[in-house]
Structure 1
Amino acid sequence: MWLGPPGETGASGEGDASGRSDSQPDSDGSPVFYDDSGRRMTLPGGVLLVLDPEWDQGRVDDFFTANGIALGRVDEEDFTTNAYFVSTDPGLPSLLLANELADEEGVLISSPNWRSQVVVR
């Protein structure tokens, strides 16, 4: 992973790829990432998760338990069936958990909770 500001290149030639990261963290301790347009993005904590809509609540609870996620960290969302917000610490813990869960059976969406820079024109 590239740790540096946009426009600079790392030793391996990385630097303008999406997902690069600044070594200077945000005020919450989260590294600052940049998308292709240079917009800053941070990870305030949490993972947005959508599971198989055919799963009943017992299967959903089993999924969280099998993945070491305490049910007290899980809030159900109402934008679709079996949508959840899993609380994590800010920064890389949310990215790592989202990546870990993405390949699990029954996971349709696993995304860290991104906060992005907005520019008013």
Structure 2
Amino acid sequence: MHTKLILNKGDTRLRDFIIDFSSDKLYGFDFEDSYEGNHIDDLAWICCALLDTNPGVFEIIEPNQPKHKIELINIFLKNYYQINSGFHFSFNYFAERLVEDLNIVIKRRDLDPGFIRKNTILKNITDI
């Protein structure tokens, strides 16, 4: 299968976007880390940001509370692929990137992931 190459933003965090509600357009900026690659790399970073936005999955106390974040990721991905139907989604590639990105966040913030395990998060994504 041929993978489309796109210009990835690189450091894809939710604060790096502006929404123009008058034209219903979303603009990304802060492109110092941009590179040509797989579109799923940026999607995984966005999903990582959704998981980590306050309250992040690492601050949530109850084991079932992350489900609303998983549901948000599913809604985001479904809408993305409805709009960009020409792009192929690989769950395995996405899962690998998401786990790598979560590990970067854990390391950068010197977090203890506690009872929230990446395997549980990925299982929840496939269950919804």
Task: Indicate the structure with greater strand content.
Answer: 1
Tell me the TM-score normalised to structure 2 length. Answer: 0.28
Task: Indicate the structure with greater helix content.
Answer: 2
